Amino acid sequence: MSRLPSYEQQIALTHAPLIVAVATAALSGQRPPELEQALDQSAANGWTDLVAALRRVLAGERDEAVLAGLDEEDMAIVRAVLRGIQDPDTLPDPEARPDPGLAAPGLASLVHGAARGDAQALQMLAGIAEQMTAAGGDMARLGGIMKRLVDGERDAECLAKGMSAQGESLLLSILEELGRLEAH
């Protein structure tokens, strides 16, 4: 049976192009203009703490202090960069994309934890829902129903309103996984 990628691995896959670009620049000592533009754009989009940490790495910092003050997702990105600097073979494939099928168990687990009062799960879920909402389409609709899922809503027909078949399929997978979690 294959092992599902961890949450941190999913984050690394999602942000692989940035991770690879920063690690490569740190290793070579060269900062391509495209990287600077990407960092400036990320900062303009609100990722200021992450960009500050990545700039520290680019300036030569390699210890855990660079992680201070970062949220879990930002820490995962910076850790992947630091690992990639130490061993380039650990860098994620920038052409790979996270498997959406693996999203259902992770999201269901966070919804389940948040519904049971796990503050960390709630915080992580809120961040993911915000990103999903910004993505538009089915992801925005799914991000928009996270609170309803945490509050116990399980009516698939009601929750899936306005989703494509693919979005509805992901929602049904989340609901199925929630059913398993709630049965235990």
Domain co-membership, 22 together with 72: yes
Same-domain check for residues 107 and 83 = no
Any domain includes 2:
no
Residue 11 falls inside a structural domain: yes
pTM score above 0.95: no
Tokens read off for 90: 């650990």
Q: Which of 148, 135, 145, 134 is nearest to 168 (CA)?
A: 145
pLDDT class for 4, splitting at 50, 70, 90? very low
pLDDT at 49 over 70: yes
Domain extent for 56: 7-90
Domain end marker among 31, 60, 90? 90
The rounded mean pLDDT for the chain is 86
pLDDT at 90: 92
Q: Do 14 and 85 reside in the same domain of the chain?
A: yes
Whether residue 150 has pLDDT greater than 80:
yes
C-alpha distances in Å from residue 79, one per residue of 16, 20, 73: 12, 12, 10
HSE on the CB side for 138, CA within 13 Å?
Answer: 11
Q: Into how many domains does the chain fold?
A: 2
Judge whether 131 and 47 are in contact, CB under 8 Å. Answer: no
Confidence of residue 8 (pLDDT cuts 50, 70, 90): confident
Comparing C-alpha atoms, which of 78, 76, 104, 100 is closest to residue 11? 76
